[in-house]
Amino acid sequence: MMSLEDMSREGTWFIEFNTPFSYHIRGIKRVLYNGVTKYQRVAIVEFEDLGKALVLDGKTQSTVYDEFIYHESLVHPAMIAHPNPRRVLILGGGEGATAREVLKHRSVEEVVMVDIDDDVIKISRDYLPEMHQGAFDNPKLRLIIGDGRKFIEESKDKFDIIILDLTDPLEGGPSYLLYTVEFYTMIKDRLNDNGLMVTQATSTFYALYTFAAIYRTVASVFPVARAYHTYVPSFDSTWGFVIGSKRLDPVSLTPEEIDSRIKNRINGELRYYEGDIHRVLFTLPRHIRALLENKSIKPATDKNPTFLPA
């Protein structure tokens, strides 16, 4: 019988669609887990070139090879912009790497993590210790299994930082109502006066219109909205993020200020994020800036949400 390693070389491939008309292919060395939860399809695979990976509903979420690029870019620009982040809320982030990065900040006293899919967390704990690195066992972390939007609707807690590490807004998926004006308005209400939120915002190449729609939705709610992106090899694309802030502007910080805050406030080493990278993250090309200012792109609402074109 042919081994999984041999099968990969002979043609066992993971095909991931970026849009209905384009896709990329990666060779699979082995499949560690493959199943279906109440909410989504889940696989833990080991790619030939990127190592172990979490795949949800056919979309690569994180790989051991480069997850630090995504997670450091998601977490630290907003966290560093805040003078003293103590209470942090994470919605999503089932593999635990977002919590890992948040917990590097010495000022953090409590991290509340809400994820709808208990099975993804259990699977990640078992198969992806390289990603969570023990974050689930940190006494500062409070894990809640539940719907993120329902938590926001019912909770009266206030936070300094809210991080939305969500799956993409796929039609029929679990997350598309977490990218709307109504949801961001509730997020704003759950932030302290100097609070910031940040959301992953899809590909700035394959889903540029969706990225712009997310930005314009955030900008319709928050006084300060900043879009940024970086290249993530496992996504085969530049990947977008959007910060919404009540007062603080992450773009106002100099590289020197950021490096100083990293040195004074973070335990351990960062592999990607630093002052110079911060400036690069927020330097968007002209065609993207133009689309972000296109008023014909209306903010997403519960009745008229935005969807990823895949």
Q: What residues are labeled active site?
A: 165
Phi, then psi, of 55 in degrees rounded to 5: -125, 125
Task: Write out the DSSP string of 204-245.
Answer: SSTTHHHHHHHHHHHHTT-SEEEEEEEEEGGGTEEEEEEEEE
Question: What's the gap between Cα 226 and its chain centre?
Answer: 15
8-38 as b/e, with b when 16 or more CB fall inside 10 Å? Answer: beeebebebebeeeeeeebbbbbeeeeeeee
Helices 181-189 and 208-219, axial angle in degrees (round to 10): 50
Distances (CA, A) of 176 to 98, 154, 213, 308: 20, 19, 12, 9
Q: What tokens does 3 get?
A: 């081994």
Phi, then psi, of 273 in degrees rounded to 5: -75, 135
Alpha-carbon distance of 158 to 199, in angstroms, equals 18
3-state SS, residue 252: helix
Q: What tokens does 134 get?
A: 């023990």
H or E segment to which residue 75 belongs? helix 67-81
Alpha-carbon distance of 111 to 218, in angstroms, equals 23
